[in-house]
Amino acid sequence: MDEHEHSNYALEWTLDHFFTPFGVNGPFNLVIINAKPSPPVAISMGGPGGLGSEIFPAVAVQLKTIADQIAEKAKQICASRSVFEVLVEVVEGDARNVLCDAVERHHASVLVMGSHGYGAIKRAVIGSVSDHCARHAQCSVMIVKRPKFKP
């Protein structure tokens, strides 16, 4: 999950199709992963004799706050569908690697992801986490697209 609406929609879709129909005795375990970006590092002279690095404290605090908000939103969405058995993990790093590593660590049978809906050019320029995971994850990958128009 991330802070975008497409991510919330993908979680809601997953709950509605894989969890809610089965009640408390469902065949699946739910693990929600938030890939928190690494905070930027400032390079300083580091005093006598060399270069050092220092994390911008304000940015690190803001990234943690955002990750906490995403985790809380995920839990609220799950609770609204009466799904309480959920593991929410915040892992620092690039989302592509974080998600593929989580698939292996949790022995996932399916990775469900939202789609930003970027066109081919934008995906080529900034990259696509879902494209990467579809090629590299060691399980099936389901990309849930939010409808443009809801009936």
- Per-position b or e across 114-123, b if 16+ CB within 10 A of its CB: bbbeeeeeee
Length of the chain: 151
Find tokens 């080529």 and name the residue.
124
Using an 8 Å Cβ cutoff, are 84 and 15 in contact? no
> Which amino acid is located at 56 in the chain?
F
| pLDDT tens digits, 28-69 | 899 999 998 877 666 555 555 545 456 677 788 888 899 999
Q: Phi, psi (5° rounding) for residue 88?
A: -110, 125
| pLDDT tens digits, 72-119 | 999 999 999 999 999 999 999 999 999 999 999 999 999 999 987 666
The structure tokens listed for 1 are: 């999950």
> Is the pLDDT higher at 130 or at 42?
130
pLDDT at residue 151 is higher than 60 = no
HSE-up (13 A, CA, CB side) for residue 137: 27
